[in-house]
Structure formats: C-alpha cells, structure tokens
Amino acid sequence: MDDLTGFQRDLLYVIAGAEQPSGQDIKEEIETYYSSDINHGRLYPNLDTLVNKELVEKGELDRRTNYYAISETGHQEIQDRRDWEAQYLDG
C-alpha cells in the first residue's frame, strides 16, 4: 500500500466498506469525504490502478455498470496499514 496515493488508499477503504459498489456509488461516497466533485477522469484511472495492483476486483453488474470488490490482497494491505498506523497512534 505504500506505493498508493492518498486518493487511491481512500478509494480502497470505501470499496472495502461497501458491498460491491458501482463506480457511481464510490464517486458519491468519496465526494462526501472530500467535500468536492470528483470527475470521471480522476476516479476511473485510479480505480483501474487498484484493479491492476490486484487490490480490487472488477466485475459487471450489467452492460453499462461495473462493480468493485475488495480482494483478499486488498484486505491484507488494509490490515497491514492499520497495524503500521497503530504503532504510532495507540498507547
């Protein structure tokens, strides 16, 4: 996870917290956190990066809509990140 941008890491967390969200679902959630509009040109290339790194799996809901799901590797990366953060934040 150390090679992800903060935005990519945030996308990974959003996907991990949802049940196969569509790109639009992810966009709406991330816009709430960022308090600004996220354009497709920023969102989808970053989602593709997560898929290419095998942190996220991409599937088809219908002919026009894809879904995203956290992979086992993605879950492990999040857990490793949380363990790393805990050494600095807990205690």
Digit-coded pLDDT (tens) for 13-49? 999 999 999 999 999 999 999 999 999 999 999 999 9
Give kind and range of the element (H or E) at residue 68: strand 66-70
Is 43 in contact with 23 (CB distance < 8 Å)? yes
Reported as a pLDDT band with limits 50, 70 and 90, residue 91 is low
Q: What percent of the chain has pLDDT over 70?
A: 99
Sign of CA dihedral 43, 86, 71, 18: negative
**Residues 54-79 pLDDT 10s:** 999 999 988 899 999 999 999 999 99
Residue 63 phi, psi (nearest 5):
-65, -20
pLDDT above 90 (res 1): no
What's the pTM? 0.92
